[in-house]
A and B are shown apart, each in its own frame.
Chain A
Amino acid sequence: MKKISLAQLKPDHKGKVSDIVGGGNLRSKLMHMGVYKGTEITKLSHIGLRGPVVIKSGRSILALGHGVAAKVILETE
């Protein structure tokens, strides 16, 4: 088990949210979109080097800017 940020996770890999290091606003925004501590997410793609990240969480597909993705810390195998 290791911890990496969503930005570092490779596409088509899964992870479990262990922390969101950001302001309360970001945390509550993600929370209401269904991404919070313990949520299992799959990274679908990453556009370019510093581009946005697309994830699947539950039944929703979400796009996160690179900066946001860097703040989502995941536990992965």
Chain B
Amino acid sequence: MIRKIYLIGNPNVGKSVIFSRLTGVQVISSNYPGTTVELSKGHLLLGNDKIEVVDLPGTYSLEPTSSAEEAAVSLLSEFPKNEMVVINIVDSTNLERNLSLTLQLLEKGFPVITCLNMCDDASHKGVHIDTKKLEEILQAPVISTCAVTGAGIKLLIERIHEAVPVSRGKLSHEERWKEIGRIIEQVQRLEHRHHTLREMLEDASVRPLTGLVMAAGIIYASFKIVRFVGEFIINRITDPIFINLYQPVLEKMTAHWQEKGFWFHLLIGDLINGRIDFKQSLGVLTTAPYIEFGMVLPYVIAFYFILSLLEDIGYLPRLAILLDNLMHTLGLHGFAVIPILLGFGCNVPGILATRVLESKRERFIASTLISIGVPCVPLQAMIFGLLGKYGGFYVAGVYLVLFSLVLILGVIMNKTVSGYSPEFLLEIPPYRFPPIPTLAKKLYFRIKGFLIEAVPVVMLGVLFVNILIYFRLFDFVTSLSAPIIHGLFGLPKEAVVALVIGFIRKDVAVGMLMPLGLSVEQLFIAATLLAISFPCIATFVVIWKELGFVNLIKSTLIMVVISIIMGTMLHFVILK
């Protein structure tokens, strides 16, 4: 009786894609090792039985050498062997290396069914594997699959019950590699292929000179595309909908409302020259949806489109190699580039992704840098929306300040935070070109995630603030904080509302600045401060969960001190 199915395999062989195919649970998968840092669980209906399927983080062996591997291995030993099946997912293009884990699983007596995944990629590369023969040698079922297209999955499900423990002697490492050599000779046939354009690009992107040129080009193009797509959606789709469709309807519906009443204040907000102004009215039905759908969502779509594309192609690990030197000065190694890039989408998945970093010290440094110096897409979108009209100078200025801050802070933390930072050891995946439906699904999944998390918080946040403002409850905080906000930062004392709201969501916080009539210099200071100061509550909670309370406090203290120093410095440099 099978009660549990585990998916295990080397990093980046497509475990998560198989998992999604088996359970229908959508999980993020990318073309780099370590995408899955959390256990995903789902269910597969096998006959009439609902069986739990667990997607384990990638591991090279059953003798764990990192914490992610340890988690995978300890879970495997938790469950009785006669009540589970292990689906061992193998990269067909690299059978030799993958077989080491397969043999270890068989030696340990697990009931194993082996999935030769990415079979399309293998035949493309001239790798031919005799599945039947391999099955004979292993004495365990072997199935050729291509998870991305779904080929072979049905057969895999049909044959799951055939997985039974086999008796295999335990081998030493040397013996095992020799055995693998023998197996490979019998089952694998390599066709000679000439260097393809893809391989030439793969090669060029990890060489110093060509690699840096490519990296610069890709980063520049990514920025341009994000801006272009974002602005296109705003100008052609969302703004017309809001201004031509939504605004007249809203104005008609509320025309007979009393303008200074409680509900009007709450839902519509203030009228600007007698009309609703989506950027300044600050109502639950006006500014709140406009911030999320009209200013932030277009850039979220654009950003995740590019990020997903780069992830699935397999470019990010190459960027990690090129930036390894720079990251070392910050006390991290090249792979930390990936959590940081994810942090540009939203700090929460960025900080979760720091789990791929091995030491506590690295995770603390990376998480602190992300929460202080990496603005999320919603915040960036609002900064563009606010400062963009004054020209690229101020927008670039915010990024420049944040970038310098990350460098300085990283160098200081590298010198002062105790612990160790291990070296880089990473497998570089080949470039793959993801099918459009796969990419579209991932994009849809991320945007849905964004909307579910953001919209309720934004609506409630604006509602809450409007109630506080209506009953003048903010006045106390405002006058209390005036010496800092006005005295040190040179902002009108009402700006404290925005900084407080920043704790809930950054995009709404920037929205709060819009009606204040700030000068462009003040906007610049406030926007930069919002980026640096307290992370939003979601980030706060995730740092707490991931790094513990003490580190949360440390990280927060660093943040407060830096916010005050930076705010004051910018004020005196720019305004005086």
Q: Which residue numbers of A lie inside 8 Å of B, CB to CB?
A: 11, 25, 28-34, 36, 44-48, 50-52, 54, 58-68
Contact = CB atoms under 8 A, between A and B. Distances in A.
Interface string B416-442: 000000011111101000000000000
B206 A66 contact: no
Interface string B270-308: 000000000000000000000000000000000000000
A60 B251 CA distance: 63
Contact of B427 (A51, A62, A66): A62
Interface of B: 60-61, 63, 65-66, 93-94, 96-97, 100-101, 173-174, 177, 202-203, 206-208, 211, 317, 320-322, 324-325, 333-334, 423-428, 430
A47 B425 contact: no
A31 B173 contact: yes
B96 A59 contact: yes
Contacts of A29: 60, 65-66, 425
Given A32-B60, A44-B203, A62 B428 contact: yes
A12 B320 CA distance: 21
Contact of B97 (A33, A45, A66, A68): A33
Contacts of A46: 208
9 contacts: A25-B65, A44-B203, A44-B206, A46-B208, A52-B334, A59-B93, A62-B425, A63-B321, A64-B424
Contact of B325 (A28, A51, A58): A51
B173 A64 contact: no
Nearest to A45: B207
Nearest to B423: A65
B325 A50 contact: yes
Q: What 8 pairs across the A-B complex have the smallest Cβ distances?
A: A65-B423, A65-B424, A32-B60, A32-B61, A61-B428, A34-B97, A29-B65, A45-B207
B325 A61 contact: no
A63 B424 contact: yes
B325 A47 contact: yes
Given A44-B203, A50-B325, A67 B428 contact: no
Contacts of A61: 202, 206, 427-428, 430
Contacts of A47: 206, 208, 211, 321-322, 324-325
Contacts of B206: 44-45, 47, 54, 61, 63
Given A25-B65, A28-B61, A31-B173, A68 B100 contact: no
Contacts of B94: 58-60
Nearest to A31: B173
B311 to A, nearest CB: 17
A66 B60 CA distance: 22
A58 B321 contact: no
Contacts of A58: 94, 96-97
A59 B61 CA distance: 18
A16 B352 CA distance: 38
A67 B322 CA distance: 16
Contacts of B97: 33-34, 58-60
A50 B206 CA distance: 15
Given A32-B100, A34-B97, A63-B424, 10 more contacts: A28-B65, A30-B425, A45-B207, A45-B211, A47-B324, A48-B325, A52-B424, A61-B427, A63-B206, A65-B333
A60 to B, nearest CB: 6
B424 A68 contact: yes
Contact of A54 (B66, B93, B321, B333): B321
Contacts of B428: 54, 60-63
